[in-house]
Amino acid sequence: MNLTVNMLFLCLEEPAPPRIERILWIEQGGSRIATIDIQDKKAWPILHDRTFLEERFASGAIHQLKNDPYQHLRQPDQAFKHEYRVQRDQAYELIQDIVEHHEGELFFSCVLGPLVQKAVKAARERMRSSAEGGCEKERPKVRGCTKTTAYQYLRLYWQRGQTPNALLPAYDGCGAKGLKRTLHGPKRGRPSKKALQNGLPTGVNITDKIKEIFRQGTRIFYDTPKRLCVKASGLGLCQASHHDADHGEVNPGFFTAGEHFIVFGEPAPGRKPGEGTLDNPAVGKHMKATGSDLLPIDDRILRSPDAS
């Protein structure tokens, strides 16, 4: 198996859940390989025996992935905003000496710890000199120069492809309250776990047509004096989604949900059990055995099945 740096592979070893790992370093002339889980926010590089990984590839326990979810970070600088590049450069400045001059040594804690401490000290001295020179306002607002920040930058650098662009601010994963997102092809937002595993985007973008279906469904099934519960409203909305938004009002009618028969305009059934014969007294229980309160019974009705 031809293993290369930055190669992605999917691990399918039970009982552990599926995970995607990236090869960070391959020892020249040796048998050690460093990898990291690209999805775990607390992941850290792990050293493997090369023979062990090759056997896993041969057995089918791990598979190579061709699509890198962070491939977009390898675009030229012109593809990113100027303020993003400024923040990237300052973040990369903190770990630049570590990743560029100490390749294989990084994956040994006895070596990495002193390197991080040295890098943080140098960064603080640069910030102090910038403040004395009156350039503090020109520096972008980023995280402080601490060892925790340095380790976080290293994790991002390794997980996202070992490129300076890995430290670009991920504002695409944040919200934009009050702003309308524009459609540009693939689904917007953070990729799902399934998309990260197979490299194919999942889901759809919300269009004006879908928004109108949600408005109609909410108005009919939820925003009413006798509103359905949230679960029943969702089922009604699923029914409404089968109609085109241009068809006008959706007629909910009747529909079933699980074991309940839902009637539009009536409250959803509660979780408490219904009342039975033990909750209410039987008919005639409080009636006296004698007197004119009892009604006569025609016993012929009980004998004849066709009585009318």
> How far is residue 283 CA from its own chain's centroid?
58
Mean pLDDT lowest among 76-85, 98-107, 215-224, 246-255: 246-255
Tens-digit pLDDT profile for residues 96-110: 999 998 888 888 888
Residue type for 164, please? P
Q: What is the pLDDT of residue 254?
A: 36
Calculate mean pLDDT across residues 1-23: 88
**DSSP state for residue 20 in the 8-state scheme:** E
Q: What is the pLDDT of residue 298?
A: 45
Calculate mean pLDDT across residues 39-55: 92
Pick 185 or 117 by higher pLDDT: 117
0.85 exceeded by the pTM?
no
Q: Rounded to 5 degrees, what angle do the CA atoms 232, 234, 238 make?
A: 115
Q: What is the pLDDT of residue 279?
A: 52
Q: Confidence band (pLDDT; 50, 70, 90) for 170?
A: confident
Pick 242 or 200 by higher pLDDT: 200
C-beta separation of 3 from 23 below 8 A: yes
**Cβ neighbours around 104 below 10 Å, total:** 15
Average pLDDT, the chain: 75
DSSP class per residue in 53-68: HHHHHHHTSEEEE---
Helix%, strand%, coil% for the chain, nearest 5: 40, 10, 50
Q: What is the pLDDT of residue 200?
A: 74
Cis peptide before 15 (omega within 30 of 0): yes
Q: What is the pLDDT of residue 2?
A: 85
Tens-digit pLDDT profile for residues 122-138: 988 888 887 766 555 45
User: In this structure, is the dihedral angle defined by the CA atoms of residues 25, 173, 71 and 197, taken in order, positive or negative?
Assistant: positive
C-beta separation of 262 from 235 below 8 A: yes
Measured distance CA(112)–CA(66) in Å, rounded: 31
Q: What is the pLDDT of residue 297?
A: 41
